[in-house]
Structure 1
Amino acid sequence: MNDHDLDAVFAQARALAPADNGAAERFLVGHRQRRAQQRTRRTGWVGALLASAAAVAGLTVLRPTPELPASAAYGAYQSAWGDGW
């Protein structure tokens, strides 16, 4: 194969055909659909995480705090200062 034949092959490969335009369009449509699905999935996860965080925060605020036992250090401090500190 000489240089002239190679130039002709490369020129033919560079020229777009109607089938190339259709393939590019199909690729772009599929790519856009995949990106939209990823965005939808990501939005769903973010919403679920925010809802879970709100539920946990609501439960911790609404639930009464348990009575914690006084530690030995607190007892010693209170006895040293008295009840009115």
Structure 2
Amino acid sequence: MNDHELDPTNLDALFAQARAPTPADAGAAERFLRGHRHRRSRQRARRVGWVGTLLASAAALAGLTVLRPAPELPASAAYGVYQSAWGEGW
């Protein structure tokens, strides 16, 4: 057996030691979760701001189209010629 090879008893002890949580593990997990929550809250705030802006723009556009009277459409040149050919009482 080589010096670098481990027998099964040493390997089992190594795995048991790796599975046992330490205070450093708890601190790392807490830092990870804190950063994850911070990123999620930033994404949520960005999404809420975008949706709010979209809804406000839609409401403003709808308000302008409902409250403003429809513009008078200009008569085309062909319509003007047709109207002048037939006169006012057609």
| Range of TM-score over shorter length | 0.7 to 0.9
Which residue, 39, 42, 55 being the options, matches 1:37? 42
Over aligned residues, Cα RMSD in angstroms?
Answer: 1.8
Point out where structure 2 has 5 or more consecutive residues left out of the alignment. 1-5, 76-90
Which residue, 46, 52, 60 being the options, matches 1:47? 52
Question: Would you say how many aligned residue pairs link Structure 1 and Structure 2?
Answer: 72
TM-score, scaled to structure 1: 0.75
* Higher helix content, 1 or 2: 1
Cα distance in 1 for partners of 2:53, 2:12 equals 58
Point out where structure 1 has 5 or more consecutive residues left out of the alignment. 70-85
Which residue, 15, 23, 36 being the options, matches 1:10? 15
Share of identical aligned residues, percent? Answer: 72
Greater Rg by CA: 2
Cα distance in 1 for partners of 2:68, 2:50 equals 27
